[in-house]
Chain A
Amino acid sequence: EAGVAQSPRYKIIEKRQSVAFWCNPISGHATLYWYQQILGQGPKLLIQFQNNGVVDDSQLPKDRFSAERLKGVDSTLKIQPAKLEDSAVYLCASSLDSSANTEAFFGQGTRLTVV
């Protein structure tokens, strides 16, 4: 079974530039998550989709971050404009559903460096 695919693996941009990350979840998984993992910290949930609808984006900095999930499958996360503090690993995860005990499967992440 193919896992969660993310691209690119690494990205370096200058502050105030824009960047986009792509995620392809495991086939059949209704729930998709984007996490931000800053060095030395645990992952923090940015946004959660159930099919193509947003169920939680309470920690997404909406003035600069946006995300969409096209047709309830692939998802993109965009940052515009980027700040130095956005340097982090962005992890995409998916699960069969949103029940509390469902295992989330994680991609390898995209490491973003803002200079």
Chain B
Amino acid sequence: AQSVTQLGSHVSVSEGALVLLRCNYSSSVPPYLFWYVQYPNQGLQLLLKYTSAATLVKGINGFEAEFKKSETSFHLTKPSAHMSDAAEYFCAVTLYTGFQKLVFGTGTRLLVSP
């Protein structure tokens, strides 16, 4: 069965610093991969998704992620953190075929200090 592992339940960065949130997936077939962001007391919002068209995916708010099959990874990055990026980030995986069933990781809370 497909799954994702997010390393680090909390990541702290300073404003202006690089953001790196890690996600590794497990899937017997090539997956679709997603990053969602959740602000306090809000639902989840899609940041970006990998659907095999390109390994480097650009999303909203300056985030991007690179699909690396050899490392089974889909890490999320942003060159320069902003205070408004403080939120919880979830990596998710689903399969090509059948109905979409998103399987989420446990999430990483990003803390941004001035």
Task: Name A75-115 residues within 8 Å CB distance of B.
Answer: 91, 93, 95, 98-109
Interface residues of B in 81-114 (CB under 8 A from A): 90, 92, 94-107
The answer on a CB contact under 8 Å between B32 and A91 is no
Does B41 reach chain A (CB closer than 8 Å)? yes
Is the beta-carbon distance between A55 and B99 smaller than 8 angstroms?
A: yes
**Contact assessment for B104 and A44 in the assembled complex, using a CB-CB cutoff below 8 Å:** yes
A41–B99 CB distance below 8 A: no
* A109-B99 in contact (CB<8A): no
Chain A contributes a number of interface residues (CB within 8 A of B) equal to 29
Residues in B neighbouring A44, C-beta threshold 8 A: 104
Contact B102 A104 (CB under 8 A): yes
Q: Which residues of B contact A (CB under 8 A)?
A: 9, 32, 36, 41-46, 49, 51, 90, 92, 94-107
A-B contact pairs, 29 of them (CB 8 A): A31-B99, A31-B100, A40-B107, A41-B107, A42-B92, A42-B104, A42-B105, A42-B106, A43-B44, A43-B90, A43-B102, A43-B104, A44-B104, A45-B102, A45-B103, A48-B99, A56-B101, A91-B43, A91-B44, A93-B44, A98-B100, A100-B94, A100-B96, A100-B100, A101-B32, A101-B49, A106-B44, A106-B45, A107-B43
